[in-house]
A = this chain, B = another copy of it.
Amino acid sequence: MASVRSGLNVSIEQLKDFCEQILVGLGVSEQDARTTSDVLVQSEAWGIATHGVKLLRGYARRLRDGGLRSNASPSVDKEGLGWAVIDGHSALGQVTTKMAMETAMAKAHRCGTGFVTIRNSCHFGAAGYYAWLAARHGMFGMAMANDVPSVAAPGSKGAILGSNPIAYSIPIGNRDPILLDMSIATVAGGKVMARVNRSEPIPAGWLVDSEGRPTQRGELYPHSASLAPMGGHKGYGIGLLIEILSGVLSGAAFTTGVGSWLHGDRSVPTNHGAAVMAIDLAAMMDPAEFAARMETLQREIHEAPTADGSPPLMLPGEMEWRNFHRAKSQGLELLEDVVASLEETADECGQSSLMSTLN
């Protein structure tokens, strides 16, 4: 069911307008509503359905119940030449993280590097969006966040760390930039739930039960099972790095202290932490030379021999950019459950339905 196409085709602009309208109706400023909609719809267009417009319903409920503050604006708490600590004051995570990346880029413009750690944020959607902001300006970008624990450590009985997304983006001249957006789990929890919904088997290596044993019983997740860390101790170690730079260093909550934005009390802020980094590549190497070297690397990868039946190798993000360009020219064909979620959100917020706005 989760992957059934609705037959409904919307343009990127129509979808952004719809999301903006919902958020403005909840007291969010036009600018912040635009920012948040842009993150959600960009992710949808990249084909990252788990981090697309489906998230709007949860954000809208938190805005109504007070755990997200519609009138809050993030502020710089402390800063130096190449760094800042930002307090999100429980504004939408998208608003806070975008501002943080813009701050990091301004620092990098001056110093070559910029690092910003963030507290009092919330779920920020797809980490890749913020990394891409930097790549759009010729910079290296990286973004990460902590989250409520869902991922086991090797040997643990339960979840120790959040899915702790991390993303980076690197420009390739005027081509679409490299874009990797991943969690530290072997697979994202959303994929487990999608398989459970479709009554499909769960592959070995995805889940660990509450006794710390490998399990393929998807229905146990998330209450009685946790996600296995990618690469065992390596995924666990990268997850800790993210937890510390995002949560510990910023003054945000960390590990079990982080609230569940989806399942927790919606009137209480989650206090997620996040961190972003920008590096001004143009300071270090002439942009034309860097672009030429990146194009050489890309060509090498594209031309590398692949196993029988395997398509040519891609750089991270190439699939997402194909999805995006198709969505731009042909519109987005939303999935049934995405449409249902949007219509429910419109209904709950007393706004016009998506269907009616498309006429």
Rounded to whole angstroms, the CA-CA distance of A73 and B164 in the bound complex is 41
Closest to A142 in B: B241
Please name all residues of chain B whose beta carbon is closer than 8 Å to the beta carbon of A339 when the two chains form the complex.
none
Contact in complex: A117, B182 (CB < 8 Å): no
Flag whether A256 is at the interface (Cβ < 8 A).
yes
Task: Choose from B182, B236, B284 the contact partner of A83 (Cβ within 8 Å).
Answer: B284
Flag whether A111 is at the interface (Cβ < 8 A).
yes
**Given A237-B316, A255-B297: A306 touches B157 (CB 8 Å cut-off):** yes
Rounded to whole angstroms, the CA-CA distance of A186 and B188 in the bound complex is 19
Flag whether A213 is at the interface (Cβ < 8 A).
yes
CB distance from A149 to the nearest CB of B (A): 10
CB distance from A29 to the nearest CB of B (A): 28
Q: Which of A37-45, A89-97, A226-234, A326-334 contacts B (4 or more CB under 8 A)?
A: A226-234
- Copy number in the complex reads 2
Within 8 A of B (CB), among A81-109: 81-83, 85, 107-108
Please name all residues of chain B whose beta carbon is closer than 8 Å to the beta carbon of A241 when the two chains form the complex.
168, 170, 180
Rounded to whole angstroms, the CA-CA distance of A157 and B303 in the bound complex is 11
Task: Choose from B237, B251, B307, B315 the contact partner of A157 (Cβ within 8 Å).
Answer: B307
Flag whether A155 is at the interface (Cβ < 8 A).
yes
Contact in complex: B82, A81 (CB < 8 Å): yes
Within 8 A of B (CB), among A106-142: 107-108, 110-115, 117, 140
Chain A 196-225, CB-CB to B under 8 Å as 1, else 0, gives 000000000000000111000000000000
Please name all residues of chain B whose beta carbon is closer than 8 Å to the beta carbon of A233 when the two chains form the complex.
316
CB distance from A164 to the nearest CB of B (A): 13
Rounded to whole angstroms, the CA-CA distance of A113 and B80 in the bound complex is 10
Flag whether A148 is at the interface (Cβ < 8 A).
no
**Given A212-B306, A213-B307: A230 touches B240 (CB 8 Å cut-off):** no
Chain A 7-46, CB-CB to B under 8 Å as 1, else 0, gives 0000000000000000000000000000000000000000
Contact in complex: A186, B113 (CB < 8 Å): no
Contact in complex: A243, B180 (CB < 8 Å): no
Flag whether A235 is at the interface (Cβ < 8 A).
yes
Flag whether A305 is at the interface (Cβ < 8 A).
yes
Flag whether A53 is at the interface (Cβ < 8 A).
no
Rounded to whole angstroms, the CA-CA distance of A297 and B49 in the bound complex is 33
Please name all residues of chain B whose beta carbon is closer than 8 Å to the beta carbon of A157 when the two chains form the complex.
304-307
Flag whether A249 is at the interface (Cβ < 8 A).
yes
Contact in complex: A82, B85 (CB < 8 Å): no
Within 8 A of B (CB), among A262-284: 277, 279-281, 283-284
Subset of 12 A-B contacts with CB under 8 Å: A82-B82, A113-B277, A153-B301, A155-B310, A155-B313, A156-B310, A156-B313, A178-B244, A240-B315, A243-B297, A249-B284, A250-B284
Q: What are the nearest 3 A-B pairs in CB distance?
A: A212-B307, A83-B112, A82-B111
